[in-house]
Amino acid sequence: MSERIEVNKTYKTYVGGSFRRTESGRVYKVYDKDRNFLANACRCSRKDVRDAVVAARSAFDVWQNRPAYNRGQILYRIAEMLEGRKAQFVKELKRLGSSEKEARREVHGTIDRLIYYAGWTDKYQQVYSTVNPVAGNHFNFSVPEPVGIVSVLPPETPALLGLISVIAPVMAGGNTCVVLAGETAPNVTISFAEVLHSSDVPGGVVNILTGYRDELLSPLSSHMDVNALVNADRDMYQEMRKQLEENAALNVKRVTREYYENWDHSEVESPDLIMKLQEIKTTWHPTGN
C-alpha cells in the first residue's frame, strides 16, 4: 500500500461571516519553524480591504445594539468552542516553533482571556458611566458608546494570544473590526476564524485578511469609514508606523498602541482597554420643575 498523501488545508480570508478567496487571486507561501512549506495564504488587495470594511459597517448596528449580556454570552461561547479544539491549536503553534508546554499555556491563556472579557461586557458601562453635578432644573449623565469600525494589527507573536488580546476588547465594547493577520503565522488566525464561524458571532463583526503589511497598511489606515486603529505590532518599521499615523489623521481616527513584552501579563487584561475604543455620550434631561 502506498503512503497516504496528507490533504493540506486551504487558507482563505474571513469576511462578512464567510470564507472567501482574495479578489486578486494572489497567494504567498507560509512556512513552519524549519522553513518547510505549510500552505499558501491569500495575498489580499485594497479591494479586499474595502469589502471587509463594508461588511464591518453592515454588522456594526446589529452588534452594538445587542444586549451587553448577550455579547458576553457570545464571547463565552467562543471560549467554549476553542476549549474543544485545543489540540488543533497546540499542534499549529508547535509547527511555528512553540514547545508543547508553551503552546498549551498560550491556548489556555487565550481561553481565559476570552472569558475575562466576556465578564466585562455588561459591567464596564456601570464602572465608567457618571451622573454629573449641574445647576438647574435638569440632570446630566455620561455613558460610553462604541466608536465604530476598528482596524486591528495584531502582533506576529504570540500568534493566538496576541490576536485575542486585541480583538476581545473591541468586540466586548460593541465595535466591529477588520484584522490583518500576521504575515508569518496567518494560519493560526484563519483557523481561529473557524471558531468564530461556529460561535454565534454575527457575520461581519470580525473580518480577517491575510497578506503583506507593507501593501495593506495604507488602505487600512486611510479608509474614511474606519473610526479607530489598534496597532500591536511592536516590530513595525518606524517609517510604516509614521505612515499609519499620518493616514489615520485624515479622518481623525483614534490610534491606540498596544506593545507588550509579555502578553501573559495581567496588564493586558483590563476594562481600560475596552474604554480606549469608546466615545463618551453626554445627555441632558429636564426634571420637569
pLDDT digits (tens, 9 = 90+) for 139-159: 888 999 999 999 999 998 999
Distance of CA 204 to the CA centre of its chain: 12
Cβ within 8 Å of residue 238, ≥6 positions away: none
Q: Determine the Cα–Cα distance for residues 238 and 241; give it in Å rounded to an integer.
A: 5
Give the per-residue pLDDT at 227. 96
Statement: residue 19 has pLDDT above 70: yes
For cell 479544539, name the residue.
Answer: 85
Distance set, CA 112 to CA 82, 96, 201, 227 (Å): 10, 22, 18, 28
Tens of pLDDT, residue by residue over 124-141, are 999 998 888 887 788 888
pLDDT at residue number 289: 58
The H or E element spanning position 183 is: none
Pairing outcome for strands 278-286 and 138-146 = antiparallel
pLDDT at 188: 93
Answer yes or no: is pLDDT of 282 > 70: yes
Structural fold of domain 13-286: Aldehyde Dehydrogenase; Chain A, domain 1 (3.40.605)
Burial class (CB in 10 A: 0-12, 13-18, 19+), 137: exposed
Residue 240: pLDDT band (50, 70, 90) is confident
> For the chain, what are the domain ranges?
13-286
pLDDT for residue 288:
67
